[in-house]
A = this chain, B = another copy of it.
Amino acid sequence: MAGSMELRHLRYYVAVAEALNFTKAAARLRVAQPALSRQVRDLEEEIGVDLLRRSPRGVTLTAEGKLFLEEARDLLKRTVEAVEKTRALARGEYGELPVGYSPSPTVDILPPALGAFQKSVPRVTVRLHDLAGNELADGLRNGVLELAIMQRPTGSNGAGLTFEPLQAYPICVAVAPGHPLAKLKVVPLARLAGEKLVVFRRQEYTDYHALLERVLQEVHPRPVIAVECDGSSSLITEVATGRGVAILSAVFGKTIGPRLKLRPLTPAPEPQEVGIVRALSGDVTPAGEKFCEHLRAVAGALGERGC
Using CB atoms and an 8 Å cutoff, list the residues of chain A in contact with chain B. Answer: 4-8, 11, 46-49, 51, 63-64, 67-68, 71-72, 74-75, 78-79, 82-83, 85-87, 89-90, 95, 283, 285
Contact = CB atoms under 8 A, between A and B. Distances in A.
A183 to B, nearest CB: 57
B283 A63 contact: yes
Contact of A63 (B71, B75, B83, B89): B89
Contacts of A48: 87, 90
Contacts of A75: 75, 78-79, 82
A47 B283 contact: no
A85 B63 contact: no
28 contacts: A4-B7, A4-B8, A4-B11, A5-B7, A5-B83, A6-B8, A7-B7, A47-B83, A47-B87, A48-B87, A48-B90, A49-B86, A49-B87, A49-B89, A51-B86, A63-B89, A63-B95, A63-B283, A64-B89, A67-B85, A67-B89, A67-B95, A71-B85, A71-B86, A72-B82, A75-B75, A75-B78, A75-B79
Contacts of A285: 63
Contacts of A49: 86-87, 89-90
Instruction: Pick the most buried of A47, A48, A79: most chain B CB atoms within 10 A of its CB.
Output: A79
A86 B64 CA distance: 6
Chain A binding surface, main DSSP class: helix
A79 B48 CA distance: 15
A98 to B, nearest CB: 13
Nearest to A80: B5
A83 B74 CA distance: 13
A51 B85 CA distance: 13
A68 B47 contact: no
A74 to B, nearest CB: 8
Contacts of A47: 83, 86-87
Given A71-B82, A71-B86, 7 more contacts: A4-B11, A63-B89, A63-B283, A67-B86, A71-B85, A74-B78, A75-B82
Contact of A90 (B64, B72, B83): B64
Nearest to A43: B83
Shortest 10 CB-CB contacts between residues of A and residues of B? A71-B82, A49-B90, A6-B6, A68-B86, A6-B7, A64-B90, A64-B86, A64-B89, A7-B7, A47-B83
